[in-house]
Amino acid sequence: ANMASEEYDCIVIGAGIQGSFTAYHLAKNKKKTLLLDQFFLPHSRGSSHGQTRIIRKAYEEDFYVHMVEGSYELWARLEREAGVKLITRTGLLLMGPENAKDFQLVKSSVQNNGIPAVFLQRHEFSQHIPNVNLTPGDGALVETTAGVLFADRAVRAAQMVFQGYGGEIKDGQKVLQIEPGSVVTVKTGSGIYRAKSLVIAAGAWCNELLTHVGLQLPLQVLKINVCYWKEKVPGSYSVKNRFPCFIQLHPKEAENDIYGLPSNEYPGLMKLCYHSGSETNPDERDKQTDKSDVEVLSRYVVRCFPGLVPVPSVVESCMYTVTPDQNFVLDHHPTYRNIVIGAGFSGHGFKFSPVVGKVLSELSMGQVPSYDLSPFRIDRFSTQPKSAL
């Protein structure tokens, strides 16, 4: 082991998609950057693994719409730099109770922001979306430019381009200690590294790392059962047949949303999941065996996706790190300005990662960030009225 102290401009802890994109932007800006991960890469114990994620602009909040727009440009740039295809356009079907507030808000955001979309009338629904039953009382729209991101491939591409710009990756090195200061010292099991600034992008392990720098955030770590369901007629819900991704708001079966991606990575299997899960310790993820969501999904499949066998063929695991308002944390440490935190991506952060990496790199370089980061500030968590305490 090399115990000599090496000095960097910036150290990024966490080589998931957010840390990898942060490192990519830093290296592009000629910063000598070290990207550390506790596990040997690639691995499937965090939040960025798996073949696919949804990319969509259909969000209630304008700030997310603008951030996705910026992300599309940067995704295209990474596709060119790495020479790989990272996005396939499928469209996104959004279904939800016509009179529900969130459905109405997304609908008006789509209209006000000029997001390309088709509003489907009930009588024409099945002609556009075969093999899906639209719930009575639900409205439906298709965001036509949304699609599927190839997640594992994207993580690899960002890391490869980072290394191409001279960035260093050290995997299999868990950060065990952080000493703040004008030069930050980071100790792993096998090395000591120093840098002018530090970015913590540690996913579900964020709070464990923040204990070293005297901070805790209100983050909840959830285990997600990633379920794949067999098509009764192969191809009926496939990318090839232009079946879209979907989000079902307020399903009758449960409190949280249900969503899906067309069959693609495992031919004949459609990914369809519950947008929540049970709390877990990230180091003991597989001890969390709650599968009540799978029963909920089965009932939903029977009712709305009659072309799928209502028992999952494959169940994989992933984690969400959720904040109380489901908005991210993108901010400086409140006392140590040269420590920057990206956390709480709340199950929807992948699509934004090129922009997240950009703003985290800007914060760590002491620059004014390209986007308004007020929704993502740490001090929003401590603004509850004192009387509530």
Ligand X SMILES: Cc1cc2nc3c(=O)[nH]c(=O)nc-3n(C[C@H](O)[C@H](O)[C@H](O)COP(=O)(O)OP(=O)(O)OC[C@H]3O[C@@H](n4cnc5c(N)ncnc54)[C@H](O)[C@@H]3O)c2cc1C
Ligand Y SMILES: O=C(O)[C@@H]1CCCCN1
Sequence letter at residue 15: A
Residues 284-343 interacting with ligand Y (rule: CB under 6 A):
none
- Please state the closest distance from residue 55 (CB atom) to ligand X, in A: 6
Number of residues that bind ligand Y (CB under 6 A): 8
Residue 320: contacted member of ligand X, ligand Y, none (CB under 5 to 8 Å, by partner type): ligand X
Residue 247: contacted member of ligand X, ligand Y, none (CB under 5 to 8 Å, by partner type): ligand Y
- Please state the closest distance from residue 236 (CB atom) to ligand X, in A: 21
> Using only C-alpha atoms, what is the Rg of the chain?
21
| Contact status: 56 vs ligand Y (CB under 6 A) | yes
Residue 175: contacted member of ligand Y, ligand X, none (CB under 5 to 8 Å, by partner type): ligand X
Q: Do 74 and 63 touch, CB atoms closer than 8 A?
A: no
- Please state the closest distance from residue 269 (CB atom) to ligand X, in A: 15
Q: Do 264 and 117 touch, CB atoms closer than 8 A?
A: no
Has 351 been annotated as catalytic?
yes
- Residue 56 or 358: the one with the smaller Cβ distance to ligand Y is 56
- Residue 125 or 142: the one with the smaller Cβ distance to ligand X is 142
- Residue 187 or 351: the one with the smaller Cβ distance to ligand Y is 351
Integer Cα distance of 243 and 23 in angstroms:
35
E strands, the chain, in order:
5-13, 33-36, 52-55, 87-89, 92-97, 117-120, 138-143, 147-150, 168-170, 175-179, 184-188, 192-200, 220-230, 245-248, 258-261, 269-274, 278-279, 314-322, 329-332, 339-343
Q: Which of 250, 275, 332, 358 is catalytic?
A: 275
Please name the residue that has the structure tokens 């499928």: 90
CB atoms near residue 210 (< 10 Å):
20
Has 49 been annotated as catalytic?
yes
Q: Which of 49, 57, 332, 348 is catalytic?
A: 49
> DSSP state, 284?
G
- Please state the closest distance from residue 259 (CB atom) to ligand Y, in A: 4
Q: Do 243 and 229 touch, CB atoms closer than 8 A?
A: no
Q: Which two tokens stand for residue 129?
A: 């979306």
Residue 158: contacted member of ligand X, ligand Y, none (CB under 5 to 8 Å, by partner type): none
| Count of CA atoms in the C-beta half-sphere (13 A) of 243 | 26
Residue 275: contacted member of ligand X, ligand Y, none (CB under 5 to 8 Å, by partner type): ligand Y
- Residue 125 or 178: the one with the smaller Cβ distance to ligand X is 178
Q: Which of 53, 230, 332, 348 is catalytic?
A: 53
Please name the residue that has the structure tokens 């369809």: 272
- Residue 150 or 320: the one with the smaller Cβ distance to ligand X is 320
Among 25, 28, 250, 275, binds ligand Y (CB under 6 A): 275
Site map for ligand Y, 232-271, x if CB under 6 A? ---------------x---------x-x------------
- Please state the closest distance from residue 74 (CB atom) to ligand Y, in A: 17
Integer Cα distance of 342 and 334 in angstroms:
13
- Residue 139 or 347: the one with the smaller Cβ distance to ligand Y is 347
Has 196 been annotated as catalytic?
no
Q: b or e along 59-96 (b: 16 or more beta carbons within 10 Å of the residue's beta carbon)?
A: bbeeebbbbbebbbebbeebbebbeeebbeebbbbbbb
> DSSP state, 276?
-
Burial class (CB in 10 A: 0-12, 13-18, 19+), 36: buried
Give the helix/strand (H/E) hosting 75: helix 62-82
Interface residues with ligand X (CB under 6 A) are 13-19, 36-39, 46-48, 53-54, 174-175, 201-205, 209, 224, 226, 273, 318-320, 345, 347-351
Q: Do 18 and 356 touch, CB atoms closer than 8 A?
A: yes
- Residue 125 or 360: the one with the smaller Cβ distance to ligand X is 360
Has 271 been annotated as catalytic?
yes
Residue 15: contacted member of ligand X, ligand Y, none (CB under 5 to 8 Å, by partner type): ligand X
Integer Cα distance of 9 and 32 in angstroms:
5
- Please state the closest distance from residue 109 (CB atom) to ligand Y, in A: 14
Catalytic residues: 49, 52-53, 271, 275, 318, 351
Chain positions contacting ligand Y, by CB under 6 A = 54, 56, 247, 257, 259, 275, 347-348
